[in-house]
Structure 1
Amino acid sequence: MHPKLLSIKDFTYNLPEEKIAFHPLAHRDESKLLIYRDGNIQESTYKNIAEQIPSGSLMIFNNTKVVEARLLFQKPTGGVIEIFCLEPHESYPDITTAMNQVGKVQWLCLIGGASKWKPGMILSLPLQIGGKNFLLEASYIEKRTDCFVIELRWDCPVSFAEVLHYAGHVPLPPYIKRADERADKTRYQTVFAQHEGSVAAPTAGLHFTENILNHLADRNIQTDFVTLHVGVGTFKPVKADIMENHEMHYEWIEVKQSLISSLMQHREAPIVAVGTTSMRTLESLYWLGTKLLHHPNIFDNQLPILTQWECYEIQHQPTLGEALEALLHYMQKNNRDRLLAKTQIIIAPGYNFKVVEGLVTNFHQPASTLLLLVAAFIGNDWKKVYDYALQHNFRFLSYGDGNLLWRYKNN
């Protein structure tokens, strides 16, 4: 069956609210770890995950950094309007450029209480930076189908990323039904977070510590990083009856040339993606390389983009080495140390995996595209895994426990 014809109703389960983790554990690496391989399940904890990974493997993490994307403006009458910064206006070439803007920036946003924002009204929010008082102002520019264009201005010589750090709130997922707390600034962030741009954490990475990373190195398990800036679309519910009518969200990916070379060197070894975002990035690299092999000049005058369904429609599929070699050639020809692209890929049952052998991930929401990805990876045994987790006191969703899944040989 083509993934377009899948019904989301076949990928749901009952998740009682008491199974959702509303707070993280005191120590990241004490979260429980379910290990699935060839139909068998066992339990461990994250602090022992290195023993579950074969020596010589390559583990890939997402080093995106969550920004404090929620801004709470108070109207003169006392009402609060929330501006949730989704992604930069398309006039900026990438997220990093937009984050580094000083003085003003335009952003695509969701607005809580939009009906209370009258035309011409400029919202203001006091800022205190370095002991000095400044002002952040928001102006309504344009309404679009699913968001608003907002211009933000501030009267201090700092970047927009710094403005968000001082003025914003941590964008906890909607199913964590509480206000953000001071601890969330560090706990809703991986220890290796580096590049600002996400409005949701790559949650599989939240369990890892410096001790775990050192233990992986001691066992000759190589680690490397990709950058995928997680958008709020990761929580977008599937409302369509069949997946053909669900529009997947685009996300920005950034990959170093050295990472692609490392994948080339390890293509015969197990490659383990830490998180669905890392998997989405790695699998997208294969298809971007495949597009280059079919049309060598396709990205010369445009940003490399992978759309939702095209990986299911490409007939002639090269080896992983050939696809990666095409990407390396493209980057070398254009003197680029980093590949910047956008991916809309949806990984669902019927998908033919090209890169990833193992997946570290959290337990996901019912009827979500993330659950579809898990089902694509381990087949119908996703039900077995989730039933076991529910019956054995695993904690679910972003601050919950996780699992290490090994792909079926026939997937």
Structure 2
Amino acid sequence: MSTPIASAHTVADFDFELPPELIAQHPAAERSASRLLDASGPEPADRVFRELPALLQAGDLLVFNNTRVIKARLYGVKSSGGAVEALVERVLPGTQEVWMHLRASKSPKPGGRVRFADAFDAEVLGRCGPDGGLFHLRFGGDPFALLEAHGHVPLPPYISHADGEDDERRYQTVFAKEPGAVAAPTAALHFDAALLARLAERGVEQAHVTLHVGAGTFQPVRVEQLTDHRMHSEWFEVPQSTVDAVAACRARGGRVVAVGTTTLRALESAALVGELQAGARETDIFITPGFEFRVVDRLVTNFHLPRSTLMMLVSAFAGYERIRSLYAHAITGRYRFFSYGDAMLLSRAQATRP
């Protein structure tokens, strides 16, 4: 489902200098107490996230990603005694098998075994993934149960501390339901029960999709031309109830507000053929400037890594120059960046739907 879009931009156009101290190492004391850069109007406004209900109107539809982050990071040893650090990328449905990133001084061979957390063994079945960069292993039991018991929260590479009890709670949305993500849908981390209740009281409807976020979300683009980049693939599902909710929102003149780039990615992937369609499948959609959005009118999102596909996505959505200006405003204003950082509210640059 890859959709390369012709663009005059190069990867360098999406680079920026970020003072290291602005990379948030811990979440705000309260979820909804984080800052919100309101870019829904002509001029940016500095707000607090709990003000979001006042920026929406009755009849709008918030769409969330209800994926649940699994404890995907494991430490172990090969049968030879060599240390192994692993990150599960995907649990294969209905099996005891996983795809994982695996770091070791010497890669294990098919048929080899790895003992994780000094608690359970896994058999190496071979290499896998689009470029053969992942390892295919079979666990000796239910992967979700074993990861929950022996794994670690897969904090992003730019967070320097080891995972702890607070991360188990805060690197997870309050409505997380479907296990499978190895990274959080971070824009949704700002929502708490009280804020969700206030949004409902205001008449803002809510719906869900599921997209299991992969580790590829953190990878910078390492080629210069956007058309040369090979996008990572992620599994998603859009239920019929969400398709119906979007149609009802359109009928009443409301706006579809995606909470996070993963939600936007799922919705726009499900509408590539024209109308939004229910179902579950893989997507490797690459959204760059020039992309025609069919579903999402507004986007709640955190601040993203330089040279990343997510920088390209938000630039496609809100406009390249607009995003450059907003990021400069955020850096000057000392906003906190990345997964545990602050958020912004964007309006789609296109005035009309395709």
Q: Same fold by TM-score, threshold 0.5 exceeded? A: yes
Distance 1:265 1:232 in 2: 34
Q: 1:139 aligns with which of 109, 114, 123?
A: 123
Structure 2: runs of 5 or more not aligned: none
Letter of the 1:342 partner, please give it: E
Aligned: 1:68 with 2:51:
no
SS of aligned partner of 2:84: strand
SS of aligned partner of 2:272: helix
Distance 1:274 1:246 in 2: 26
Distance 1:124 1:273 in 2: 41
Q: 1:3 aligns with which of 2, 6, 15?
A: 6
User: Deviation at 1:43?
Assistant: 1.1
Q: 2:33 aligns with which of 27, 30, 55?
A: 30
Bigger radius of gyration: 1
Q: Aligned pair count?
A: 343
CA contact (8 A) 1:22 1:177 kept: yes
- 1:213-228 to structure 2, matched below 5 A, reads 213-228=196-211
Distance 2:270 2:113 in 1: 43
User: Deviation at 1:240?
Assistant: 0.8
Distance 1:341 1:75 in 2: 34
1:199/1:269 Cα in 2 relative to 1: closer, same or farther (>3 Å)?
same
- Residue 226 of structure 2 is matched in structure 1 by 243
SS of aligned partner of 1:108: strand
CA contact (8 A) 1:348 1:372 kept: yes
- Residue 332 of structure 1 is matched in structure 2 by none
Q: 2:139 aligns with which of 119, 136, 152?
A: 152
- Residue 266 of structure 1 is matched in structure 2 by 249
Distance 2:165 2:80 in 1: 28
User: Deviation at 1:393?
Assistant: 1.3
- Residue 46 of structure 2 is matched in structure 1 by 43
Distance 1:37 1:83 in 2: 41
| CA RMSD of superposed structures (Å) | 2.0
SS of aligned partner of 2:271: helix
Distance 1:202 1:4 in 2: 27
- 1:107-146 to structure 2, matched below 5 A, reads 107-113=98-104, 115=106, 117=108, 121-125=112-116, 135-144=119-128, 145-146=132-133
Aligned: 1:170 with 2:153:
yes
Deviation digits for residues 31-59 of structure 1 (CA, Å, limit 9, x no counterpart) = 00000034310011111111111221001
User: Deviation at 1:74?
Assistant: 3.5
User: Deviation at 1:120?
Assistant: 5.3
User: Deviation at 1:86?
Assistant: 0.8
Distance 2:5 2:83 in 1: 46
TM-score w.r.t. the length of structure 2 is 0.91
- Residue 385 of structure 1 is matched in structure 2 by 326
1:84/1:40 Cα in 2 relative to 1: closer, same or farther (>3 Å)?
same
Q: Identity of counterpart residues, as a percentage?
A: 39
TM-score w.r.t. the length of structure 1 is 0.79
Distance 1:339 1:117 in 2: 37
CA contact (8 A) 1:229 1:251 kept: yes
Distance 1:126 1:169 in 2: 10
- Residue 372 of structure 1 is matched in structure 2 by 312
SS of aligned partner of 2:76: strand
- Residue 359 of structure 1 is matched in structure 2 by 299
CA contact (8 A) 1:32 1:394 kept: yes
Aligned: 1:398 with 2:339:
yes
SS of aligned partner of 1:266: helix
- Residue 280 of structure 2 is matched in structure 1 by 340
SS of aligned partner of 2:165: coil
User: Deviation at 1:4?
Assistant: 4.9
More helix by share: 1
Distance 2:109 2:270 in 1: 45
- 1:11-22 to structure 2, matched below 5 A, reads 11-22=14-25
User: Deviation at 1:233?
Assistant: 1.2
- Residue 131 of structure 1 is matched in structure 2 by none
SS of aligned partner of 1:269: coil
Distance 2:296 2:112 in 1: 50
Structure 1: runs of 5 or more not aligned: 90-96, 128-134, 291-322, 328-337
- Residue 162 of structure 2 is matched in structure 1 by 179
CA contact (8 A) 1:38 1:408 kept: no
SS of aligned partner of 1:287: coil
